[in-house]
Structures are given as C-alpha cells and as structure tokens.
Structure 1
Amino acid sequence: MPRLPRLAGVTAAALALGLLASAPAAGGEPTVSDPRVVAHFDLAQGQTPENIALEPDGSADLTFASARQVANVTRNGRTRIIATLPAVANPRTPVTGAAVVLGIARAEDGTLYVNYATGTSATGIWRIAPGSAPRQIAQLPPNGFPNGLALDERRGVLYAADSVLGIVWRVPRSGGQPTAWAMGAELEPRNAPPAARVGANGLRFHRDAVWVSNSNAGTLLRIPVCRNGSAGAIETRARGLAAIDDFGFVERHRDTALAALIGGSEVALIRRDGTHRVVLTREDGLSNPTSVAVRGRTVYVPSAAYFTRQDPNLLLARVHQRARD
C-alpha cells in the first residue's frame, strides 16, 4: 500500500485510527517467535517491498513498489532483481501519483503475475515467465488501483483487488478481458484523505474462497467461489484490524491468518472466531509491514517503511503450530 513521501504523515494518521483488540494466546493456537530481519533494502532506490510470493526453495519473490521491480530474496538475505516493469510517461496513478508494482502471485510452473498501477493503459496484470521480460496480459481501469493478487490454479483464473474502485476483478490466467467478479460496500474505501482512501487491499485464495482485507474499514472478508465460478455473498470474518494490509494463512489451522497492520507496524494473529492479538511489533524489526506469507514453520513479513522512512526489510519468524484442528 504505497504512498508518496510528502503524504506520509497525513496517511499514517488516517490509517492508524482505532485500537486493536488483543487477548492472550488460547490453548492450541499458533504462536510466533524468533523474529529476525534477514534483508535490508535501499529506500533511496525505491526498494519498498509491497507483496510476496514464495518459491519452492524457500526464497521470497517481492515486489519493490516504488522501483517497479520484482526481486528474489533468499532466506539468507541475498537479493537479485528478476524484472523491472517498463517506465510510464506522466503516470496518473490514484493514491500514489507514481507508477507502482503491487500484488504478486506465483504459478506452479514458476510464472509470476503482478499488478501494475499507473493511471494509464499500462494498468493491469503483467506476466513474468521464467527468463522472459514482463508482458501485460490484461488491462484494468486506469482510474483504479489493482493491489492484492491471487491465482486459483485449478480454475485457471487470477483475482485482483482494486483498492479505489472497491472491486475484485477476475481474469483468465492466459489473459484477456477482466470481469468485475465481486462488488459491494464491504470492498469500498471509506471516508479518509485522498491518499488514504484504500478499500479492498490484500487478497488470498484460500479453501475455495477469495479472502480480502479492507484497509479503511479494518476488516477481513471472505467471498465464497460458487460452483459456477460466480461470487457468493461477502462475509465479514474479522473487524477492528486498524490499517490492515495483506495477510497469509497458517497451515494446519484452517482459517487462522497472520495479517500485516501497516499503520502500527504490527502483525496480528486473526483467529477463526474473528478475534485477534498482536504477535509481532516494531520492536521486532517491523517498519510498516505490507504483507505476510507462511510456509510450514516459517512466516515471512516484508516491511516497506512507507511512513517511518526507515529500514525497509524482510523479516522471518518461527510459527509454532500447536495442533488444535
């Protein structure tokens, strides 16, 4: 969820309104420990990690929003640039005013898909095949802000959350015409300064449903995928998540998620009943975290430092998965 530096103060204040509900760990729920920053990035070079996808070897593919780049970062912090999205003349991007690369999804064959927001016809979903240059496969409205992205490999479709228009778009994996798959007040941005009007943000495909966060509303939503592929009714599964960005689900704990709370530099554990507690903070090394990925016993948290302007990084921590389900 990138912002222009000059708007950081206003945006941070707008996004940080409200208090997080917290509670002690319940018996059997996962716990998070041993946080450590494994890679530090260069803010001056636009290396603001916005979203994450994991490779089979445990390395992370990150979108560097402001640099328009995709990078691979190993668990030891070694960083390699995979691709750079083409520059756009006179970008008119909502929210940022600058061209930014946002959500990322990885297919089993290694192909990467990213959302590119520019305020021009280049706005949309881009494909990065292994060893190939980025290529646009779907155009999305230039007045929108395609943010979170997920791939349903079985159905062969991509879902993209538009933070400004309050729409979840559905696009064939091969590319083509997008469909406004889900719409509603639950996905729309709320009253806030222009640079902080961010509704549907993070997006994950999980257990035959599309899950979406709404940053302004502080909610986590679930949208079932019906048998015919259409969207079911939007369900609100959690509230009170101030400035929630993207999130990831904890394996073996069904609908338990870890979510980045960008305004407060925190990660929260969201239980299946909708309650939550903070499990990582700025004292652990977070600096405006933007997304979360979980694999096995490891949680990955990129921090973009949009508001703090200090130490964009990638943090790893250990997830203790005490079985309950």
Structure 2
Amino acid sequence: MFLKDVWQVAAFAKEVGREILPRTLAGEAVILYRTSAGAPVVMLDACPHRFLPLSMGKLSGDVVQCGYHGLCFDHRGDCVKIPGQDRIPSTAKVTVFPVVERYGFIWVWLGDATKADESKVPDFHWMTNPEWAVSEGYHHIDAHYQLINDNLLDLSHETFVHPHTIGNHAVAESPLTVSEGEGTVIAHRDILNCEPPPFYVQAAGFSTRIDRWHTTIFTPPGFLVIKNGSVPAGMPKEEARAKGIARERRVLNLITPETETSSHYFWGIARGYDIENVGLTDYIRSEVARTFDEDKLVLEAQQRKLGDHKITHFPITLRADAGAVRGRRLIESMLRGVSATAAE
C-alpha cells in the first residue's frame, strides 16, 4: 500500500519531452509527455477500450494514439477520435493526474485530484537556486522505498559501506539525536575532531582534522534533505563561514516507490562553495554516484533476503535506528488514516 494523496516525483523535467515516457509510480503504470506548448502530462498507461498500454502507441501532435485500434486521447484524457465511427462513448476517457513542474522535477499527485494543492509541493529550491551548484543523478533500486528511507535516516552505515568516499570510524561512534517536527522526523549527528574521509579531502579541500555534521530532515513518503557540512576542528561554524572556509552541502533525496520491491531514487548534491568550478561539480557527481552504487548493492541484497516478509520484520532494533523507526511510524500513521477514510 502506498500513500497517494501526496506530491511525488515522476521524473526530472529534462527527461520529459515530445516522446512518450512510460514509468511506474507507486504501483500505477503511467506515461509522461509534453504538449506542443510544453506543458507536462502524466496519464494512465492503459487504453480504456482493450487495455493495451498507451506507451505502445504514439504521440501525434497533441494526442496520444493507441497502438491497437487507433483511439486518440487529448491531454485531458478525453477521447477525441475513434477510427470508423463518429460517436464517442462518454466512458472513453483516460485518467490524467495533476502535475506540477518545479525545482527541475515533474511532480505528480496520484490520489484524489480535488486534494492536489500546489503549495504542498516539498521544498527543494536548492536544485534551481543559482547560489548553489548542483550535481544530480538517478538510481533505480530494486528495493522497497522504506529501506532507502531507513538507510538515509541512519547514516552510521557510512562507516562500513562507504569507507572509500564519505565514511570513517568516527561516524558510527558519534551519538545521534532524533526529534520530530510537524509531519517530519529530524535526525542529527555531530562528528567532532575526526580525520576527513577521502571525499572531504578531494571535494572540500581538508587535509587536517575536521568537525562534521549532518542533519537529515525526513518528510513522507520519501523526501530527505540532509544538511551537512564541515569546518576545521574546533572552529565555530560562524567563524568558518565568515572566513569562507566552511564547506556546506545539501544532499537532496527524492524517492518515489515504483512497486512493493522497487523504487525510483532521484538525487542532487547542492553545494554553497566554489560554485563556478565545473570540474568539482563533475567530480562530486561521479563520487556520489559511486557511493550510491554501494548503497544500491546493500539495499537490493536486503530486499532479496526479505523476500515476501514484511519490511517491518526486523528482530533487532539498535539505538542508531531511532530515526528510521520514527520515520516508519510516521508513514504507518498516515497509511492508517488512508485505510480509515476508505472504510467510511
């Protein structure tokens, strides 16, 4: 079961053009395309006549033509042509979902269209803010989306999964504090007087001991903003900022469920320093992709081992799981609300 009455990322905006793009989002098979005026469309991938996927058809002008019997549907989902007959049944419609283009993404509302409020699109302004340089990417992960949430709410795994990029022993040994906001879970860790991991040497320019921090802000179903940064060990953050030697980033994670065992993982690394350095932007993209490749291996192995077991079937809970546990509880509470509403 997935949350549907929420905005979720369907694609990077640059992915969607004048060709049909099929994608499965939270269990719904859809197609994405742009009209000739450039407006994005997200439509159910099924012709209502004989249920051939519309992705097997073609985009002709501003209509999608089914590849089976040629029925044509406009951007509102209305059938506008049926070869061989003039009368168009009132039931000849395809569901079209509310959509917003913002922050370099196409956002879709897969639930009750009357509840779709554009002001509720999660804030990822860093992706398009000229004061930040962004390295972005995408991973398809064969794992339930909540396993990815768990991964990002407990960054102690950096020590063991990412020792060649962002991790070292100090991460797992540093205490975690967890709090909750309005519809959010916040997990914070200070990592003080530690050796800079390899990524921090190359991407941030540190060669001596540093103070690190990361604050993960989780909003269901799969949005996690990690505010991370580093300064020379012992130096107050404000002093380092004033001197221009603080190295602060936003790790932007946007996870959309695909199926019960697979997910779309859109990500961006926004940095507030040396923003004109294209070589650094490319380096960060490459190293972060390598880091997330390591996560992908772990997450997919987890999913294979879980098999048909529920993703809550974990016999041991550790202190470091506090953020992940609260994140799951928040999602469970929202899903219970959906079930209660459906039962009324």
TM-score between the two structures when normalised by the length of structure 2 = 0.26
State the structure with more CA Rg. 2
The structure in which a higher percent of residues are strand is 1
TM-score between the two structures when normalised by the length of structure 1 = 0.27
The structure in which a higher percent of residues are helix is 2
